[in-house]
Structures are given as structure tokens and as C-alpha cells.
């Protein structure tokens, strides 16, 4: 299990660019990182669970259903727990997550973590939006554990969000904690509120991006990042 791909591995797989040849790049494909998984949060707050359960029972009634019929009997409590899990980001401190694995290191090339799964809720309709996040930074004396980047994405995703703010929050958190030479965040997501209702566009994908430092100043650096995540962005 290679967390950090070797130069040869990267070259063999995708990159032919001679300039990149001379550099060492740390790339992690999150799907290959087996330590990474969504941890289950079974520590539900009892008061919150029972308040939410009552409210979801009312919602089901108000939608015209019978909350006492067999299939729905336990649904209010299940929904209450699911929603607590899906909004647990409010109780997580993303900066503390990064600081918990911050190491002094004189590595100053681009570090990329790509294809981080994103599951979030649009705050306008409380319907899910989901997709992939690609995050890069250029260290300035400090690096962080690669899985921590994915955890930061989770901590901000598991809240009521808009994709634009989610993108900025991830960028700001990394910038303000690691103080790198630059941060780049791209999120591509599909929104259920657009797919199931409203304009009913099933295939549309929303891309947001946010950059700081070198990614903003240098077209070449930004282009290298876009190239490495394999996207065609403008």
C-alpha cells in the first residue's frame, strides 16, 4: 500500500511532461488509501435524538402519511440518527484535525490529494449534493498527514452547505493552519435539488474552485494542478 506514489509510478500512469519528470510529486488517490473510511458515529445525543424523532414523526404526518404504519414506525428515530451523523461536522474542528498531524518538513513541491468523496447537504433544500474534491497545497515548512485533508473535507461537508462556501472553507482552513505557499481546491458535485426537482437536470455537474498564493499568482502552477487532477477547467 503506497500512500505516496513513486516518481516512476506517476510517470508510468499518466505524466509525460518533461518538466514534471524532474520533480518529485506526492500524489494520493484517496480510493487507494485503505486507512481512510467514514467512521461510524454511534454516540448519539439522547436529548437531540428524542427531540428530532418527535419532529420527524410530525413531518411524516404532515406529508400525509401514517407514522404508525409498520414500515414507518421506526423511521423518525432512524432519520433523527442519520441526520445527526450527516451533520456531525458542526461538532468537529477542522483546524484541530490538521494540527493533530502537522510535521516540520522541508518539502516544497505540490502535494495533491485527489478524488476525495464529498457528501453534503444543500442548505436551501436540505437535499444532498455529492461528488469529488481535489485538494493541493505547496508546503512552506510544514506538511500534514494526507488523510487529514480528507477529514477536513468531511468536517465541512457534514453540515448544511453551499458548494461555493464549502470550497472556500477547505481552502481557508489549510491556508490558515499550515501557512503553505498556496492552496488549491476544486469540487465537482451533483445536486439532488437540481436533479430531482427544479430544473431536473440529471447530468449537470457543478464545479467550484478556490486558490491562494502560488496557485493564484502562477498560471503554470495552477495549470500543473489542473493537469494532475485530470480536469479541463478554465
In whole angstroms, what is the distance from residue 47 CA to residue 149 CA? 32
Residue with cell 426537482: 197
User: Catalytic annotation on 88?
Assistant: no
Locate 143 and state its grid cell: 506538511
Kindly state whether residue 124 participates in binding Zn ion, applying the rule CB under 5 A: yes
Nearer to Zn ion, 50 or 87 (CB): 87
Kindly state whether residue 52 participates in binding Zn ion, applying the rule CB under 5 A: no
Beta strands in the chain (DSSP E): 26-29, 102-104, 111-122, 128-138, 142-144, 160-161, 182-191, 206-211
User: Catalytic annotation on 13?
Assistant: no
**Is 211:183 a contact under the CB 8 Å cutoff?**
yes
User: Catalytic annotation on 179?
Assistant: no
Q: What is the DSSP letter of 32?
A: G
Binding mask 173-202 for Zn ion (x = CB under 5 A): --------------------x---------
Residues sharing a CB contact under 8 Å with residue 204, sequence separation 6 or more, in sequence order: 190, 194, 195
In the complex, least distance from residue 192 CB atom to Zn ion, rounded to whole angstroms = 8
Stretch near Zn ion under the rule CB under 5 A, chosen from 41-49, 66-74, 119-127, 153-161? 119-127
In the complex, least distance from residue 187 CB atom to Zn ion, rounded to whole angstroms = 15
In the complex, least distance from residue 205 CB atom to Zn ion, rounded to whole angstroms = 15
User: Catalytic annotation on 124?
Assistant: yes
Choosing from 7, 125, 179, 231, the residue that interacts with Zn ion (CB under 5 A) is 125
**Is 208:187 a contact under the CB 8 Å cutoff?**
yes
Kindly state whether residue 122 participates in binding Zn ion, applying the rule CB under 5 A: yes
Closest CA to 228 of 125, 114, 77: 114
Catalytic-labelled residue, pool 84, 163, 188, 224:
163
User: Catalytic annotation on 191?
Assistant: yes
Question: What amino acid positions are annotated as catalytic residues?
Answer: 122-125, 163, 191, 193
**Which residue ranges make up the site for Zn ion (CB under 5 A)?**
122, 124-125, 193
Amino acid at each position: 500500500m503506497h500512500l505516496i506514489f513513486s516518481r516512476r509510478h506517476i510517470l508510468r500512469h499518466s505524466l509525460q511532461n518533461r518538466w514534471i519528470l524532474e520533480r518529485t510529486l506526492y500524489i494520493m488517490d484517496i480510493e487507494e488509501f485503505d486507512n481512510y473510511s467514514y467512521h461510524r458515529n454511534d454516540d448519539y445525543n439522547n436529548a437531540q435524538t428524542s427531540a428530532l424523532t418527535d419532529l420527524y414523526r410530525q413531518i411524516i404526518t404532515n406529508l400525509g402519511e401514517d407514522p404508525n404504519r409498520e414500515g414507518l414506525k421506526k423511521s423518525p428515530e432512524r432519520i433523527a440518527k442519520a441526520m445527526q451523523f450527516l451533520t456531525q461536522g458542526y461538532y468537529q474542528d477542522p483546524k484541530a484535525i490538521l494540527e493533530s498531524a502537522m510535521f516540520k518538513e522541508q518539502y516544497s513541491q505540490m502535494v495533491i490529494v485527489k478524488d476525495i468523496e464529498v457528501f453534503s447537504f444543500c442548505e436551501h433544500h436540505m437535499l444532498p449534493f455529492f461528488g469529488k474534491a481535489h485538494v493541493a497545497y505547496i508546503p512552506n515548512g510544514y506538511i500534514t498527514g494526507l488523510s487529514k485533508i480528507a477529514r477536513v473535507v468531511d468536517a465541512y461537508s457534514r453540515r448544511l452547505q453551499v458548494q461555493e462556501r464549502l470550497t472556500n472553507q477547505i481552502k481557508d482552513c489549510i491556508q490558515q493552519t499550515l501557512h503553505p505557499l498556496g492552496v488549491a481546491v476544486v469540487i465537482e458535485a451533483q445536486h439532488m435539488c437540481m436533479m430531482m426537482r427544479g430544473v431536473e437536470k440529471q447530468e449537470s455537474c457543478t464545479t467550484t474552485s478556490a486558490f491562494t498564493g502560488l496557485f493564484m499568482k502562477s498560471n503554470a502552477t495552477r495549470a500543473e494542478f489542473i493537469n494532475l487532477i485530470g480536469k479541463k477547467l478554465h
